[in-house]
């Protein structure tokens, strides 16, 4: 059973900055607002099959915790 490996992540910076009203921020990184939808594109090293599963984990900070709502698993 081979694992899916990500080859590239596109954070859709322009799109997300506009949608989250953060275009004027000086940060080079994408800033996402909590509770709002965002768009990313994942490219895998191999073709993803309909039966492949993966888990997306979103976290903030160095000490992410489900208890304090800094960690979400999708």
- Residue spans of the domains in the chain: they are 1-74
pLDDT at 18: 94
What is the fold, at CATH topology level, of the domain defined by 1-74?
Immunoglobulin-like (2.60.40)
Contact 7, 44 (CB under 8 A): yes
- Which pLDDT band, with edges at 50, 70 and 90, does 56 fall under? confident
DSSP state letter for 10 = E
* Mean per-residue pLDDT, 5-11: 93
- Asked whether residue 30 carries a pLDDT value surpassing 70, the answer given is yes
- Which pLDDT band, with edges at 50, 70 and 90, does 69 fall under? low
């Amino acid at each position: 059973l081979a694992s899916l490996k990500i080859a590239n992540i596109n954070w859709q910076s322009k799109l997300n900055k506009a949608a989250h009203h953060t275009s004027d921020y000086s940060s080079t990184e994408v800033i996402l607002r909590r509770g709002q939808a965002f768009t990313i594109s994942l490219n895998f090293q191999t073709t993803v099959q309909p039966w492949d599963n993966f888990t997306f984990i979103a976290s903030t900070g160095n000490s992410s915790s489900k208890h304090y709502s800094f960690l979400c698993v999708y």
